[in-house]
Structure 1
């Protein structure tokens, strides 16, 4: 296998300038030529081990401070940012992006911060427009958006939580039919917490309630068996791995209490999924079954939705799964949860594009619907959609369903059994957008809002497929 080359150009240039040195002065200190320093700074040469050790000796810097192991994730994030329709006329190509990352990483970081601030401002404008939260600071994003961005920056993968999950049992895990009893016993023996299953009437509109003062954990009878187990592992994660989770929260740099609380819940959910679906075993089973999520849910004793969640986290270096995006919507089209390990831009407000078949799944509950879609930038994704049932508290809430969509780029679709029999190369793809407010497609018969980026004049003498399709073209 060819050794991986390491480039440190921008970091070396910053190191030199912070010490007010010329290239010749740095070259003398390192025992190399000024021409070689120039080549290193312009990423025209990779750094050798001997020069790296000399940098450590002369400048006292850790190699991790001047090497960038996250270039792939940063490149994916930048490509995602540039899918915003405001860049349609100025979007750089992949080669330009790679060059900018190599030579001006701090400028691109500033650009990403500026775009995040713009998104936060747009978030607040939409909230104010809806008559909500007008007393909130202007640039505060919704907690869900902040948490999503944090997970996105980490490629929806947290090695610290994976390591914690692998150490959870301290040996072989109990048999699947003994899990519930083992978890209850652990809560009682290690933390003096009693687990009680209570009637729906005794825990109204609540699935889990932990009373720390009484050392009591109450679970509603509305939870099915897999979700009772999931909730117990979730609570144990919050208690036993509090330090790990708090360190991740510190890294997330979340300012609002709401954001920290939401992120803590999602990190504990991640931990619980990693315990119940161990990384190596889950990845192997996913590959063997060609990502049959019904099979994976049965094999690991979890829900269909939990198996989908877990598949989005398989981003370990050297052991990657298919990179998925995950989208969950309610019957009104509102996005209630989203995770992303791809460049696909997920809708946050007002629901996903109505052209996506995830909206059709409510007509055929429990049935998986495959679909090939194309974004405005011509990128194509293979998507499967299905409804999932929520806990039912009473007969009036029997149709308490949501719908989930799992998607990957067409390049990975051949790894999925759901794509078997589909001609992915030349098949017709459904044209979609992020949502109507920012979609640049003209003449869409499903348009529900006038897109803010469509500035062509209105033709008063023409009525298109919708009342928004009245532009001169």
Structure 2
């Protein structure tokens, strides 16, 4: 008989019967220490012990000696060769360790991987992609979103730089535009000029480093003019910081790296215009009143919402928020996240969520309590935000911004006072990420067949939608 190492099967057999190593040893007439050695594959299974196992636990000897571990290991090696695991791929000893010591976890991983491959193939067929691997190429937006989320949407180096420069500006928020123009001119030798739409019809801001000039479109309102100057200040004063953080992101695509620098500069701009401690203090004093915060710092609703997602400093944390911005067609144009909420990446956000209703109530903040398919609940606020208008043909150019936090933090928000947060009370909107990924059944808003499950169909019954009955 070949050398038989069955540690994982023996351990699972013992656990299935609720036995300790001592109890198993008694039943097999061996010592507990020997059982421990067998379970850790430090001793091979002998014929007498194999016979005792068969008699005591009623197991088939052929099943115990099958090459199931070898097959599991081979499938694991094949799975981790997938392009999805190109970084930090486990080596063979690690895979063997998983098979030996956590066989059920390995089986669950393989089941999840098979489901993933099936979903990728369905997406490939759905979108006409050449292969499932084509769909695994991470978009710049996704890479940046993941990088920011991995850092809890907080960058201490940018906060420190913003505080330092804010002290140098020396002035009140209502003087910030003039202070930024003076700082750029006096310290950076950069002039700022506002230009008409006829001179710059397709751009909101142009920065010419060689000429030492920033051109701002007259289509920008006051908060966004300040924001654009603060953004330029980051490019001029913090190039090494931006480069280092971008390098730390691990992003390799040049397009994604360039976009990452833009988003980091935007982070700095918000930190400069809304300094961390004063902003957090006022947020807590006003129960996170977004209009009060915007008025105090001279910033827009969207800028305030974005800044609220970054209050994650150790020892001085605010509420964890996510922010999602969509257009009239439901396309996601911006997403940042400091919560467990799963944000839609490309669009098709759930119609049950009142983020879509905000277009019908411009400038009105709409609160809502929502629940994800996994049972997690969040309190959200949705409101329109204006876009720069270049001509009379672009009137009512709006997007909607949704800001949300976990239900457990909702009591800290003044907006939640009109919503019943009692779990047995107020209405909870049961939403999903997107129809193609949502497992909810009997949803009257379903627009697509889920990719990962088959909904029940009965020709004799018409359900809420044509996708199930």
Residue 467 of structure 1 aligns with which residue?
Answer: 466
- Partner SS, residue 136 of structure 2: coil
The answer on 1:438 being equivalent to 2:437 is yes
Please show how residues 266-415 of structure 1 align to structure 2 within 5 Å.
Answer: 266-415=263-412
Gaps of 5+ in 2: 1-97
Residue 90 of structure 2 aligns with which residue?
Answer: none
8 Å CA contact 1:329–1:351 kept in 2: the answer is no
Over alpha carbons, which structure has the higher Rg?
2
The answer on 1:224 being equivalent to 2:214 is no
Distance in 1, matches of 2:130 and 2:246, equals: 25
The answer on 1:423 being equivalent to 2:431 is no
What is the root-mean-square deviation in Å for CA atoms of aligned residues?
Answer: 2.7
**CA 1:125 to 1:235, structure 2 compared with 1: closer, same or farther past 3 Å?**
farther
C-alpha distance after superposition, 1:439-459 (max 9, x if no partner): 000111111111112224533
- Alignment counterpart, residue 181 of structure 1, candidates 178, 183, 203: 178
Q: CA offset at residue 125 of structure 1? A: 8.2
8 Å CA contact 1:444–1:469 kept in 2: the answer is no
Q: CA offset at residue 195 of structure 1? A: 1.1
TM-score (norm 2): 0.72
- Partner SS, residue 245 of structure 1: helix
Q: CA offset at residue 276 of structure 1? A: 0.6
- Alignment counterpart, residue 166 of structure 1, candidates 149, 163, 166: 163
**CA 1:453 to 1:396, structure 2 compared with 1: closer, same or farther past 3 Å?**
same
C-alpha distance after superposition, 1:113-153 (max 9, x if no partner): x98xx69x95x98699556899x965321111111011110
- Partner SS, residue 327 of structure 1: strand
Residue 447 of structure 2 aligns with which residue?
Answer: 448
Residue 16 of structure 1 aligns with which residue?
Answer: none
- Partner SS, residue 186 of structure 1: helix
Distance in 1, matches of 2:363 and 2:330, equals: 18
Aligned length: 359
**CA 1:362 to 1:127, structure 2 compared with 1: closer, same or farther past 3 Å?**
farther
**CA 1:132 to 1:455, structure 2 compared with 1: closer, same or farther past 3 Å?**
closer
- Partner SS, residue 402 of structure 1: strand
Distance in 2, matches of 1:429 and 1:322, equals: 21
8 Å CA contact 2:449–2:455 kept in 1: the answer is no
TM-score (norm 1): 0.71
**CA 1:125 to 1:194, structure 2 compared with 1: closer, same or farther past 3 Å?**
farther
- Partner SS, residue 351 of structure 2: coil
Q: CA offset at residue 173 of structure 1? A: 2.9
